[in-house]
Amino acid sequence: MIKKDGMQKINKEILNLKESPLYEYRITNNYFPVIGEGTEKANIVCIGEAPGKTEALTGKPFCGRSGKLLDEMLASIGLDRQKVYITNLVKDRPHDNRDPSPEEIALYAPFLDRQLEIIKPKVIVLLGRLSMYYIFSKTGIATELTTIGKMHGKLYKGKLSYGKVDILPLYHPAVGLYNGGMKPQLFEDFKVIKKFI
């Protein structure tokens, strides 16, 4: 119950985050903030960068084409989507699907920090370079950062206030949509998670 209360508090604060430069864009377009979805008891948390249009229209993370591919990747290792927690670094959709700005990341990242403190995952799966940069810095292993091309599919050991956490950087599922030849690599990298189920 305490975990659920904590998540509801985060939800309410983000709904009313009028100081966000993305707030007016959300209201004007009838978008929702995308807080996260799944169980607060998850061992595995997947973190993207920011919601796309389909996500902003529904309030659900990874529910568009990239989300369908993520579901396939989860199913490929026998993991039900409801057994993980899926969220983003930035909770509102940036204009024209651009990357979130450093200011937007700085504003929204504390909410992600609180979500991680509530869930206390054993594994953080990073879907995109911005979430990768942020989490590597947050967990004290920024010196290990190189490019996603070199880091994808490899486990790294980081630390949060509640203890050690395994971190797995992956290509964003969109890569598999835009470059079909990358799909097998996405599925291969995802197998690393299997030992944590």
Q: Mind listing the pLDDT tens digit for each residue in 68-78?
A: 999 999 999 99
Which residues form the domain of 28? 2-196
Torsion of CA 178, 85, 89, 12, to 10 degrees: 130
State how many domains the chain has: 1
- CATH number, domain containing residue 148: 3.40.470.10
pLDDT value for 180: 74
* 3 pLDDT more than 80: no
pLDDT value for 34: 97
> In the block, which residue shows the tokens 């909770």?
91
In which element (H, E) is residue 150 found? helix 148-151
Average pLDDT, the chain: 94
* Ramachandran area for residue 130 (φ above 0: left; ψ -120 to 50: alpha; else beta): alpha
